[in-house]
């Protein structure tokens, strides 16, 4: 059965789950609406969608240092109550998110944060690539959409595969915590610092660094 946009939207209205989660549920259940709703409930995703409108103003600012202080991360994660914020599951989630930012270097939290001009520029590049490759015009839009989703999965935190479990996204990990705690949980913002990033080293400094590396190699 073809999974149409109308079918996905209907499931979204009934469960409050995200578009991609609804599409996946319908694919898994071959378009059966009731089975798809059950699928989302079993995963805790339907509940997570309904809780998404509730205000989350408590939480924690987590920090993480990597490679002996060469990479540093600050991330703000919010929940609804201080009780959940102090819980082991929430604390562990915050640590995982900070480590994810350090390792995967996302540029945005959600795809909605990506400026429209950036999205349009990426689409233009992908469309040009598709046309130049000789693909029919009628399939260009689907190919462009697929490549754009891969771009989101690289640069948007919630779309990224979790570094510990590649077949699970960060948003799925978040929704599991929502189902476990019974509260809305959001990743509000993050900052990532890498030592020396954006600083152009002087040629003399670079030469000295290369020389030191060569000397170390010679002694090894």
Q: Residue 101: its pLDDT value, please?
A: 96
Q: Residue 208: its pLDDT value, please?
A: 61
80, 171: one domain: yes
Q: Residue 199: its pLDDT value, please?
A: 77
**Could you tell me if 2 and 26 are in contact, meaning their C-beta atoms sit under 8 angstroms apart?**
no
Q: Residue 152: its pLDDT value, please?
A: 96
Q: Residue 147: its pLDDT value, please?
A: 92
HSE value, Cβ hemisphere, 13 Å, CA-based, for 54: 16
Q: Residue 127: its pLDDT value, please?
A: 87
98 located within any domain: yes
Q: Which CATH number fits the domain that encloses residue 20?
A: 1.10.8.10
110, 62: one domain: yes
62, 42: one domain: no
Give the count of domains, the chain: 2
Q: What is the pLDDT along the chain (220 residues), one digit of tens a residue?
A: 778 888 887 887 677 677 788 888 899 998 888 888 888 877 777 656 566 656 677 999 999 998 888 999 999 999 999 999 999 999 999 999 999 999 999 999 999 999 999 999 999 999 888 888 887 777 888 898 899 999 999 999 999 999 999 999 999 999 999 989 888 899 999 999 998 887 766 555 655 665 566 556 555 5
62, 105: one domain: yes
Structure tokens at 202: 């002087």
Q: Give the structural domain span for 104.
A: 58-114+156-194
44, 84: one domain: no
204 located within any domain: no
25, 70: one domain: no
Q: Which CATH number fits the domain that encloses residue 80?
A: 3.30.479.20
* Long-range pairs for 141-150: beta carbons < 8 A, 24 or more residues apart: 148/119, 148/122, 148/123
**Could you tell me if 84 and 148 are in contact, meaning their C-beta atoms sit under 8 angstroms apart?**
no
Closest by CA to 175, choosing from 184, 167, 166, is 184
63, 41: one domain: no
């Amino acid at each position: 059965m073809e999974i149409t946009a109308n079918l996905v939207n209907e499931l979204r209205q009934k469960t409050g789950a995200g578009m991609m989660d609804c599409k996946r549920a319908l694919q898994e259940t071959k378009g059966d609406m009731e089975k798809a709703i059950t699928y989302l409930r079993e995963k805790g995703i339907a509940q997570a969608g309904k809780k998404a409108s509730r205000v989350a103003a408590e939480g924690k600012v987590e920090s993480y240092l990597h490679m002996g202080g060469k990479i540093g991360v600050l991330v703000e994660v919010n929940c609804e109550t201080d009780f959940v914020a102090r819980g082991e599951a929430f604390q562990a989630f915050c640590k995982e998110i900070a480590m994810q930012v350090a390792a995967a270097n996302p540029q945005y939290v959600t795809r909605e944060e990506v400026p429209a001009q950036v999205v349009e520029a990426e689409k233009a590049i992908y469309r040009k690539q598709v046309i130049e490759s000789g693909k029919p015009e009628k399939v260009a839009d689907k190919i462009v959409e697929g490549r754009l989703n891969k771009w989101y999965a690289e640069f948007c935190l919630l779309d990224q595969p979790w570094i510990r479990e590649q077949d699970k996204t960060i948003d799925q990990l978040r929704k599991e915590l929502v189902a476990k705690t019974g509260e809305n949980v959001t990743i509000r913002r993050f900052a990532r610092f890498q030592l020396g990033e954006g600083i152009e080293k002087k040629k003399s400094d670079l030469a000295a660094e290369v020389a030191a590396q060569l000397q170390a190699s010679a002694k090894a």
